[in-house]
């Protein structure tokens, strides 16, 4: 097992644009396996867009057979419409992971920035550059959604090496059971932050 590379599929959830990135360990020398951008037309009904997103994520899981899935924990402070849409996209990714019986770990935007760039104030360009450096790429992956998905996957590899990664959706004999996400949503002091800035994405 120690000689088998750990494969992580990272998801940067979004309804209009969802980034998917797959990397192989070891953490000290990660390798890019695949990167995809899933788009859903704004003019389509919400249920159609969510179905398309689910099929895309489930298809990526089936193709790349990851050992673990990492998803950005989407928290917002304003723009309820954006929060709902991105939260729905994250839920679809969690569903696809549970159906495939692959453990999922969420990471906040700050977790990702701290791990990949070394500080929580890193912007998308800096995260993209650090992703390129760690994966030995000539340039930052584009678009930013894909770079973010790869950064999320790299974060899981790094956290797993340090022994701090804790799956929030664990799969047992009776199917998937969730841990952690409900606690986040039930927190009365929840203050949501992160995700796509207001005005960057039009929603149905």
Strand locations in 139-201, DSSP E?
169-172, 175-178
> CA 131 to CA 150: how far, in whole Å?
7
**12 catalytic residue (yes or no):** yes
> CA 106 to CA 104: how far, in whole Å?
7
> CA 77 to CA 109: how far, in whole Å?
13
Candidate list 24, 36, 111, 145, residue with the active-site label: 145
> CA 87 to CA 90: how far, in whole Å?
5
Quote the tokens at residue 45: 């009904």
**145 catalytic residue (yes or no):** yes
Quote the tokens at residue 189: 């002091």
Three-class secondary structure of residue 50 per DSSP: helix
Candidate list 24, 36, 72, 111, residue with the active-site label: 72
DSSP one-letter code for 164? -
**186 catalytic residue (yes or no):** no
Q: Are 10 and 21 in contact (CB under 8 A)?
A: yes
Candidate list 12, 24, 36, 148, residue with the active-site label: 12
> CA 7 to CA 34: how far, in whole Å?
11
Q: How far is CA 25 from the centre of its chain?
A: 17
> CA 24 to CA 135: how far, in whole Å?
10
Catalytic residues: 12, 72, 145
């Amino acid at each position: 097992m120690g000689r088998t590379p750990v494969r992580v599929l990272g998801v940067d959830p979004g309804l209009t644009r969802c980034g998917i990135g797959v990397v192989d360990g070891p953490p000290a020398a990660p390798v890019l396996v695949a990167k995809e951008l899933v788009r859903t037309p704004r003019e389509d009904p919400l249920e159609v867009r969510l179905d398309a997103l689910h099929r895309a994520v489930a298809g990526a899981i089936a193709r790349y057979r990851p050992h673990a899935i990492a998803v950005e924990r989407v928290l917002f402070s304003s723009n309820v419409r954006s929060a709902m849409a991105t939260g729905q996209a994250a839920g679809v990714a969690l569903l696809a992971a549970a159906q495939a019986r692959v453990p999922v770990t969420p990471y906040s935007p700050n977790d990702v920035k701290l791990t990949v760039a070394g500080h929580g104030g890193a912007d998308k360009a800096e995260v993209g550059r650090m992703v390129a450096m760690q994966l030995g790429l000539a340039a930052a992956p584009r678009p930013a959604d894909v770079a973010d998905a790869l950064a999320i996957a790299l974060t899981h590899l790094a956290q797993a090496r340090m022994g701090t990664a804790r799956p929030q959706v664990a799969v047992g004999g009776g199917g998937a059971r969730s841990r952690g996400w409900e606690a986040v949503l039930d927190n009365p002091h929840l203050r949501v932050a992160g995700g796509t800035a207001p005005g960057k994405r039009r929603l149905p």
